[in-house]
Amino acid sequence: MKLPEELQFIENARKPLKTTTVRLDGKVCIITGATSGVGREAAKRIARAGAHLVLVNRNEEKAAALKAELAALSNAKVDLVHADFSNLDDVQRAASHILHHFPSIHILINNAGVHMTTRRLTVDGFETAFAVNHLASFLFTHLLLERMIASAPARIIQVNSEGHRFGGLKLDDLTWEKRRYKGLQGYGASKVAQLLTVWELADRLKDSGVTINAVHPGEVATNIGMNNGFLYRWYQTYLLAHILKDPKISGEALYYFAAAPELSAISGKFFNLTIEEKPAAHALDRATGKRIWDISEELTGLHHKMMGNTVSTAVENPGFTAAS
């Protein structure tokens, strides 16, 4: 029996993972949130494929341990950048540092993410999941965009989630002042906002040689949510962890998105692991997408006109070189 379209994700999760063995020698690959779970497995897999890794993390100790682990696994070059993505100034500093030190960027994996069970505001006054999962990756991507266009072919991979199906995005209440905060919906809202901006950016990047896609990395056992209270942590450790898969599959999937030749021209799509899938209807509403794009530009301090010009100038003029 075939499941209805909105339940296809259950079937897709059981389909075999598509894989590749294409090497990434000479490619610069940025991964945010590589110190744990999905990002850590992606870093390990992509290091083995020979890419030069630039890992953006908030915990310097964990980052140094990861770098040592990667050195034992491969000869890949690994650079570390320190940044807390709940703080947009830190995102800006990380991007400036990268632009200063790396003349080319071929792969950007926006992976850092959180699931909050309570409403917490960031130093900038945003709801934390919305800030880390959406605003930070939105800003970071835009700050690196010119460099990626100049480095094309290049790929942007947004680590999104089937959790976008929980919905929760209300444009007039992004900080949850008017509603009671619900963790799954707060998480859903951040992932819907990110997905909606993926379709927008894919359109803007048409013919630029830079692709952008969103990926659900599987239901895997990681540390996500472990920042929450005792009850949630108990639920995660003793119940959830037993039904979740090994995050190695997420690492393999993200490597596939970074390297697979058959994806070189695929952009503006959502994948459940490596299977293309139709997202929930509320995440396909382009009118809301245009509004959340504008709101995100405003909240992150990016100027709409400038960003529009950046992309179109680079596309019209293939000889365009990014300023450092």
Ligand X SMILES: NC(=O)c1ccc[n+]([C@@H]2O[C@H](COP(=O)([O-])OP(=O)(O)OC[C@H]3O[C@@H](n4cnc5c(N)ncnc54)[C@H](OP(=O)(O)O)[C@@H]3O)[C@@H](O)[C@H]2O)c1
Binding residues for ligand X, rule: CB under 6 A, are: 33-39, 57-59, 62, 84-86, 111-114, 132-133, 159, 161, 163, 216-217, 219-220, 222-224
What residues contact 285, with CB distance under 8 A and at least 6 apart?
196
Read off the tokens for 283.
Answer: 């995440």
Q: What's the Cα-to-Cα distance from 298 to each of 114, 137, 254, 295, 301, rounded to whole Å?
A: 22, 14, 30, 5, 5
Side chain identity, residue 31: I
Closest distance to ligand X from the beta carbon of 128 (Å) = 8
* CA pair distance 37, 304, nearest whole angstrom: 34
Closest distance to ligand X from the beta carbon of 117 (Å) = 14
* CA pair distance 273, 264, nearest whole angstrom: 17
User: Among 19, 21, 81, 28, which Cα is nearest to 51's?
Assistant: 28
Q: Which of 187, 232, 255, 256 is catalytic?
A: 187
With 0-12 / 13-18 / 19 or more C-beta atoms within 10 angstroms meaning exposed / middle / buried, residue 119 is middle
CB 31 within 8 A of CB 39: yes
Closest distance to ligand X from the beta carbon of 264 (Å) = 24
Closest distance to ligand X from the beta carbon of 321 (Å) = 30
**Shorter beta-carbon distance to ligand X: residue 34 or 76:** 34
User: Among 1, 7, 9, 4, which Cα is nearest to 277's?
Assistant: 9
User: Among 157, 155, 160, which Cα is nearest to 264's?
Assistant: 155
H helices of the chain, in order, are: 8-12, 37-48, 60-73, 88-101, 128-129, 136-150, 183-204, 230-234, 241-243, 248-259, 286-300, 304-316
* CA pair distance 187, 116, nearest whole angstrom: 7
**Shorter beta-carbon distance to ligand X: residue 63 or 148:** 63
Q: At how many degrees (to 10) do helices 88-101 and 136-150 cross?
A: 20
Closest distance to ligand X from the beta carbon of 165 (Å) = 11
**Shorter beta-carbon distance to ligand X: residue 9 or 293:** 9
* CA pair distance 302, 281, nearest whole angstrom: 28
- Known catalytic membership, residue 255: no
Closest distance to ligand X from the beta carbon of 98 (Å) = 14
Residues annotated as catalytic are 187
